[in-house]
Structure 1
């Protein structure tokens, strides 16, 4: 199998970065994978000390086929850094696996992601692959559901992989937004991926938000493409401690998992289809948990 390069984006959280890297090093495919690390420059002097600590740590990383470190000379911010970094790597390798600095992975995360990128590459209705899945307190699967994966209309930023042809086709400027914003049926359809989506996109277009994720998600909606999720998560997000801009302790119990998926014998069914009951459960969990808090979290719910 031709392994996808791993692209890791870090900033000013040394402890979280270390947890992410150490978990990756334990992956059975780590030693055969190339790792690219993008380190953003400090936004201000308050961030300087921890940015330097992160850079000192990543300089010593081993355990991969090759490690390439790109240290930004100015503060790009997450959106610009991800768009630029992923574009450069995916144009060269044709596919990528992307992580940020607060994601702890199972030893079989890379296996799942690489096999997913192989299995679903030719399916034009697949937008991306993620190793993350929601906790059982958030959503339920239909009785008797035996697949190891499911499809969701909402992409996930907490670990993802995609291919060059999907990525290079993204409209980052969101042309046609005004027509979309005046179409209630279209907005309702978009919000089936979560009631926060249109609000985030509107803030983005009003220059009140700088998010690669919401623009990426909107493009998946336009193309009617899905994301492949594992039934049991291969990823824990350890950033729900107010250390990051976009995650808080309030969302910890919804998304985090005490045990990661340690099954290496998963089956990736290439004939998998969208299961309406799963989407309904996702939307029910999402709306119940966030209906009263959506305004508070709209800027920080996901990595944006």
Structure 2
């Protein structure tokens, strides 16, 4: 049985349409169940777009089944994802998770399902990720990094059981163990600041808590060496994001091979990601920081 796909949607019809079309073009889509959690409008301003998104979902085809769950009140992205993932994992052992601004390669579902099966019983691995940063250097065909991520991902019931929604508790442990520098990829990326901002109420990011939960437990996430996800939400259409292309990756045109992987954090890949973060920060300065925070605060 293939993993069900959970899609979280809100008020962007064009993004949702592109996400659904790309997903339906995947080789395993017609054998996969799609479950969509459509959030409710925050105000009258969102109401029409929310209705259009729901109609698009009702008309979606190319999947084994489509289930639409319509929120009656606005949950916000963090609550919608946390509750939706938890709910589906009560019924299923594994899931694949997307948001309404993630266009996938035709090989995304194959990679996700193969990896979920291959590592189902390996407790060192907490999740599978579909996006990879557009680094300058070469990456392995697939590799592991510490923690967890949020742009097209998959996990098992056993993996999500480690999620700790208490940001203050996570930050306290990071500081007690003096892990902030490592958590921030050698000081190249302000993850600790993002967690502090979540605690202060400046954002409601579920993703920073997911990353921290996995990182503190020494868990690993599998990444592809070529991206299978392109985030189309960095076009100023999202609630928290301005227009930028700094995180854009080219979608892979061939499958990812998973044979012969060593289950440990890949040092060369870690260094490439760190160099990417440092280069962006050096080139863009405060502009980079503003957009970086915008990308992830909504997640």
TM-score by length of 1: 0.90
- Counterpart secondary structure, 1:22: helix
Aligned equivalent of 2:215:
221
Residue 140 in 1 paired to residue 134 in 2?
A: no
Q: For the structure 1 residues 178 and 273, does the alpha-carbon distance in structure 2 shift closer, same or farther, using more than 3 Å as the test?
A: closer
Q: For the structure 1 residues 30 and 169, does the alpha-carbon distance in structure 2 shift closer, same or farther, using more than 3 Å as the test?
A: same
Q: For the structure 1 residues 48 and 67, does the alpha-carbon distance in structure 2 shift closer, same or farther, using more than 3 Å as the test?
A: same
8 Å Cα contact 2:147/2:212 also seen in 1: no
Aligned equivalent of 1:192:
185
Q: 2:248 aligns with which of 237, 253, 256?
A: 256
User: Runs of 5+ in structure 1 lacking a partner?
Assistant: none
Residue 44 in 1 paired to residue 43 in 2?
A: yes
Question: Structure 2 matches for 1:175-186, cutoff 5 A?
Answer: 176-177=169-170, 179-180=172-173, 182-183=175-176, 185-186=178-179
What does the per-residue CA deviation read over 1:103-125, in whole Å, with 9 as the maximum and x for residues that have no partner?
11111110000001111222222
What does the per-residue CA deviation read over 1:192-230, in whole Å, with 9 as the maximum and x for residues that have no partner?
275221001001112221111011010011111111111
Distance 1:174 1:242 in 2: 27
User: Bigger shift: 161-170 or 80-89?
Assistant: 161-170
Distance 2:293 2:4 in 1: 30
Residue 31 in 1 paired to residue 30 in 2?
A: yes
8 Å Cα contact 2:170/2:213 also seen in 1: no
Aligned equivalent of 2:202:
208
Distance 2:146 2:110 in 1: 23
Aligned equivalent of 2:21:
22
Aligned equivalent of 2:264:
273
8 Å Cα contact 2:168/2:199 also seen in 1: no
TM-score by length of 2: 0.92
8 Å Cα contact 1:139/1:282 also seen in 2: no
Shift of 1:177: 4.4
Question: Structure 2 matches for 1:41-120, cutoff 5 A?
Answer: 41-120=40-119
Shift of 1:182: 4.4
Aligned equivalent of 1:301:
295
8 Å Cα contact 1:12/1:54 also seen in 2: yes
Shift of 1:181: 6.1
Distance 1:148 1:209 in 2: 34
What does the per-residue CA deviation read over 1:243-299, in whole Å, with 9 as the maximum and x for residues that have no partner?
01243322x1x32234x2132362343434322122112112112213523542354
8 Å Cα contact 2:34/2:67 also seen in 1: yes
- Counterpart secondary structure, 1:98: strand
What does the per-residue CA deviation read over 1:145-198, in whole Å, with 9 as the maximum and x for residues that have no partner?
6x4201122422110000101102222114634643644832112112752210
8 Å Cα contact 2:103/2:229 also seen in 1: yes
Q: 2:281 aligns with which of 278, 281, 290?
A: 290
| Matched pairs, number | 294
Residue 150 in 1 paired to residue 143 in 2?
A: yes
Question: Structure 2 matches for 1:164-183, cutoff 5 A?
Answer: 164-174=157-167, 176-177=169-170, 179-180=172-173, 182-183=175-176
